[in-house]
Amino acid sequence: MRRLLPLALALLAAACGKKLPPLPPLEAIPARPEPLTVTQQATDVVLRFPFPRKTVTGAPLDGLTRVTVLRELVPAPPTGAPPAPPEGPGREREERLFLQRAERVQRLGRADLDEATVGSDVVVRDSLYGLFVERRLGRVFVRYAVTATRDRKGTSDPSPIVSIRPLVPPGAPRELTTTVEEGRVCLDWKEPVEMLDGSTPVSAPAYAVYRRDAAEGPDGVFEEPLGMATHGPFFVDDSVAPGRKYVYTVRAAPAKTTPLVLGPPAEEALADTRDVFPPKAPEGLTLLAEPEGVRLVWNPVLSADLGGYRVYRRPPGGGWSVAAPKVQETTWFDGGAAPGTAWGVSALDREGNESPRAEAAQEERR
């Protein structure tokens, strides 16, 4: 045993003197981009992932040079969902195999990344037109992953491998219209006349609804779907804010499954949510005779944006005029009105929209 010890030490010293290829420090390697999501829009797959900003240690990432998009085609059975991202002990092995088999379909430099960034995410489109022409849509699973590289050697682990079964989607929905009601926008449209390849009948059991702010102008981008319409070609958006202008579009889906497979968008439709809706008219207007005049009493109007009430007076044989332009209480006193006078009360909201009048005449006193 003692004789072997010097030999072991000599071998160890020789190994320590051997020069190995330099490896980038951990703080220089980007973290794996995640999450990665995919959807199909017409004949494109749209990939979305956060802009790489951290290293594997959580430190801020600088020197990002590129993001690489990798794709693999896998034969698909006639039915069944796309495979889930690999997890557990076999994940690393599956990712190594994917990196060996996948083709690089896009390589985005810094200028490309800046152009593809929407908010905090990178949005990349990969064309499936070749599969569409070859009539292979529905017959393969398409698997994607992305990697981030700093300088020349610091490449991240691949993102989670996500899969989609691309299908022939429906054509564009038709005649999208918006109807603005108080606190909501109602959308209606007609279903596509054919599938994207010209075939019929149309299969469109679901529609993805998109919304963006009109202030973004004609180059504004629709991001994630606002919601899904699964009961017909209509949708109610009750998340609108008053006084805004929104732009909507919809895309038809050939199935309710995820990842979403969507056809081309309908022509955009504008909705203006300016408050032009008056509150309800006051109810229960009552005239109470008092020694020095008449007191008007009415029930409060229950409205979230109530601004007050307006009181009107009409003398015998005359026309209506404003007696009190804005009253905050649900009572008002009028002293010295002539016999036969009539009164009216309307409700106002904060935007100045006025309800119909509730009216009562003096002869109705009890």
Query: Which residues, 6+ apart, have CB-to-CB distance to 258 below 8 Å?
Result: none
Distance linking the first and last C-alpha atoms of the chain: 121
- By C-alpha distance, which of 145, 157, 43 is closest to 102? 145
**Dihedral sign of CA atoms 12, 18, 21, 27 in order:** positive
With 50 as the cut, is the pLDDT of residue 23 above it?
yes
Domains of the chain and any CATH numbers:
22-164 (2.60.40.10), 174-272 (2.60.40.10), 286-364 (2.60.40.10)
Q: How far apart are CA 180 and CA 201, in angstroms?
A: 32
pLDDT of residue 24: 57
With 90 as the cut, is the pLDDT of residue 18 above it?
no
With 70 as the cut, is the pLDDT of residue 119 above it?
yes
Whether the CB-CB separation of 71 and 126 falls below 8 Å is answered with yes
Q: What percent of the chain has pLDDT over 90?
A: 77
Look up residue 327 and give its two tokens.
């009253």
pLDDT band for position 221 (50/70/90)?
A: confident
Residue 298 Cα distances to 91, 107, 232, 282, 360, angstroms: 71, 71, 44, 7, 11
pLDDT in tens, 126-181: 999 999 999 999 999 999 999 999 987 789 999 999 999 999 999 999 999 999 99
pLDDT band for position 57 (50/70/90)?
A: very high
